[in-house]
Amino acid sequence: MSASTVLERTAPLYDKVRSVIPRIEWPVFADDVEAILALKKQRDAVILAHNYMTPEIFHCVADIVGDSLALAREAMKVDAKVIVLAGVHFMAETAKMLNPGKTVLIPDVEAGCSLAASITAADVRLMRQRYPGVPIVTYVNSTADVKAESDICCTSGNALKVVESLGVPQVIMLPDEFLAQNIAAQTKVKIIAWAGHCEVHERFTPAEVRALRADHPGVIILAHPECPPDVVAEADYAGSTADMSAYVGREKPKRVVLLTECSMADNVSVHHPDVDFVRPCNLCPHMKRITLPKIRRSLETMTHEVTIDPALADRARRSVERMLAVK
């Protein structure tokens, strides 16, 4: 097939992302996009993509997109035989836990997360010994072993609800110290934190927020709750990636900054051409391991399959399902 034919056939897809991908770059993506769409049919596969995926993945090949909470919820409803998780490893593990009978693939097994790497199952057992009877709320950005040792999971989208749903005066919240502190500021529940940090969000500073306001008068600043509390305090709003996206859709700010991973503003801006996105951003090196060629290869070779020991998966799933049951 000639390159020009591929370009013609993928032109409607390019139209979706033309505001964020220069035309000259599209030929680099077109062939993989077309191959992935065909492979999805051939393999009976769906692609679940996190909001931090680059626009050609997010808008052109993904079937389901969203924040960690949405991906966990949607993973349970998938009909297809195969799930390709375009995101990091803990997300693929969660999808596997909720779909033990399906094949779950991650295009790069090295796509980790500094939060998930900050704590082990043995650490969680030590915390339980140190604070007997105190429930352990674990952020989904954690390994299956850590989830298995926990009482309930949370995401940045439901952390406050989850903490308050337990009806106790004190909880342990692992492993994100800043998320724990940001939630503690909104509740009477006492929160014992762990010192894990997201390497992307911990780099934002209050001075940077003040400089953004000085340079862009009237700008609305939205921060992810993995940012340090002094950054969240300087922002106009804090919420998960889905919450930030919903805020932009609802409030239609003239000019906005999303204090989060780089691809987020690109992906949201596609739906809001009238909003001016100021784009300081920190790149997540783990999320950026997932590329179109790796997704294509993943479907061609059915790699890398994510597996979890069934007994461990049962225990970890309980924590995720308890979270999903919180209304």
Closest CA to 201 of 175, 171, 173, 223: 223
| Virtual torsion, Cα 186, 152, 150, 180, nearest 10 deg | -10
Is 320 buried (19+), middle (13-18) or exposed (0-12) by CB count in 10 A? buried
Q: Does 245 bind ligand 13P (CB under 6 A)?
A: no
Residue 97 near residue 306 (C-beta atoms within 8 A): no
Q: What are phi and psi of 285, to 5 degrees?
A: -65, -20
Q: Which residues have CB under 8 Å from 177's CB, separation 6+?
A: 193, 194, 195, 196, 197
Residue 104 near residue 305 (C-beta atoms within 8 A): yes
CB nearer to ligand SF4: give 43 or 89.
Answer: 89
Residue 137 near residue 298 (C-beta atoms within 8 A): no
Q: Does 263 bind ligand 13P (CB under 6 A)?
A: no
Q: Which of 154, 173, 200, 292 binds ligand SF4 (CB under 6 A)?
A: 200
Q: Does 114 bind ligand SF4 (CB under 6 A)?
A: yes
Q: Does 258 bind ligand SF4 (CB under 6 A)?
A: no
C-alpha radius of gyration, the chain, whole number = 20
Place of tokens 């903490």: 163
- Asked if omega into 27 is within 30° of 0 (cis), the reply is no
CB of 199 to ligand SF4, least distance (A): 5
From residue 52 to residue 91, what is the string marking binding to ligand 13P with x (rule CB under 6 A)?
A: ---------------xxx----------------------
Q: Does 287 bind ligand SF4 (CB under 6 A)?
A: yes
Q: Which of 55, 107, 135, 157 binds ligand 13P (CB under 6 A)?
A: 157
Q: Which of 199, 230, 243, 305 binds ligand SF4 (CB under 6 A)?
A: 199
Q: Which of 284, 295, 313, 316 binds ligand SF4 (CB under 6 A)?
A: 284
Q: Which of 143, 240, 269, 319 binds ligand 13P (CB under 6 A)?
A: 240
Residue 59 near residue 278 (C-beta atoms within 8 A): no
Interface positions, 38-77, toward ligand SF4 (CB under 6 A): none
Q: Does 51 bind ligand 13P (CB under 6 A)?
A: yes
Q: Which of 51, 94, 141, 155 binds ligand SF4 (CB under 6 A)?
A: 141
- Binding residues for ligand SF4 (CB under 6 A): 88, 113-115, 141, 198-200, 226, 261, 284, 286-287
- Binding residues for ligand 13P (CB under 6 A): 51, 67-69, 141, 155-157, 198, 226, 240-241
